[in-house]
Amino acid sequence: MDMKKIFLSMMLALTGLSMQAQGPNPNSANSLPHIKPSNVWLMPTDEELEEWRTLNESFEQEDADLPDNLMKRYEELSENPVLEDLYSGKCSWYCGGEVQRVTASSHLKTQGKFNYLPKNAHDFSHESVWAEGAQGQGIGEWLEYEFAGACPRVTAVKILPGHVKTQAAWEANSRPKYLKMYYLGKPLCILDLQNVRGMQYFDLEKFGPFGYHDANKPVWRLRFEIVDVYPGTKYPDTVISELEFDGIDVH
Ligand SMILES: [Ca+2]
């Protein structure tokens, strides 16, 4: 073997070693596990929502004293898991769990009476939304949730992607397709959202539980970064109506 061949084979061996040592890039979206929703609950139709809204207003004005037939219909409509989840007041992780603060890398500036602040993604209203405020579809923009050490632990994430208030608003604005989830500052997984106007439930038990449920432990955070979107027909801005949690250590 001449010197040139020896040199070449040494270079090849070294390149192979260095590629092995590098391994997959832990920050690349491709190397993280992709998680699909275990449940998806569709929004009620616009007509059902309007009917529910009217009944809900009467329910609140009449101090829960509705005629039997209206009460029955109100309960029937409220059984839609999305409305039940947001508005029923039934027991949930939130009986003990609490988010201290919601922040974001950016938000769209206020337009008339509508604001697009990060807290809108966690106010139990499907009508208020967070919209990122960067150029284009906001790839790389993020929403972050802060929890106290004492907070009950989190095992699941529930997301209403896009502007779900109406079908028209949902189609007009971009929705997240992939959200990169970070725990304690490290990328953990990619949430694969369906292009569906409804609540999407991600069971993350195999990565968790997240947090401590211990008052002696520090504040901790979960971050959700937009990696890819389903583009809106009218506006590029990417919108999230709600991003909430489920978990343990409650009751
Ligand atoms: Ca909201």
Interval between CA 98 and ligand 1 midpoint (Å): 16
Q: Is residue 91, in this structure, part of any structural domain at all?
A: no
CATH number at residue 197: 2.60.120.260
Ligand 1 centre distance from Cα of residue 35 (Å): 23
Give domain status of residue 236, yes or no: yes
pLDDT for position 3:
55
Query: What average pLDDT does the segment 148-158 reach?
Result: 98
**Residue 72 in domain:** no
- Residue type for 137, please? Q
Q: How many domains does the chain have?
A: 1
Distance 9 CA to ligand 1 centre (A): 61
Q: Is residue 138 part of a domain?
A: yes
Cβ neighbours of residue 197 closer than 8 Å, sequence gap 6 or more? 42, 43, 162, 164, 167, 170
What's the sign of the alpha-carbon dihedral 156, 161, 166, 167? negative
Q: How far is the CA of 143 from the centre of ligand 1 (A)?
A: 13
What is the tens place of the pLDDT at every residue in 94-129?
999 999 999 999 999 999 999 999 999 999 999 999
Domain for residue 220, yes or no?
A: yes
Q: Tell me what the pLDDT averaged over the chain comes to.
A: 90
Please tell me the predicted confidence (pLDDT) of residue 150: 98
Residue 47 resides in a domain: no
Does the structure show a pLDDT above 80 at 184? yes
Element (H, E) at 231: none
pLDDT in tens, 18-73: 444 444 454 455 689 999 999 999 999 989 989 998 999 998 887 778 899 999 99
- Domain carrying residue 156: 34-41+96-247
Q: Is the dihedral of CA 68, 74, 75, 76 positive or negative?
A: positive
13, part of any domain: no
What is the C-alpha separation between 162 and 181, in angstroms, rounded? 17
Instruction: Please state the separation of Cα 206 from the chain's center in Å.
Output: 18
* Predicted TM-score (pTM) of this structure: 0.85
In-domain check, residue 49:
no
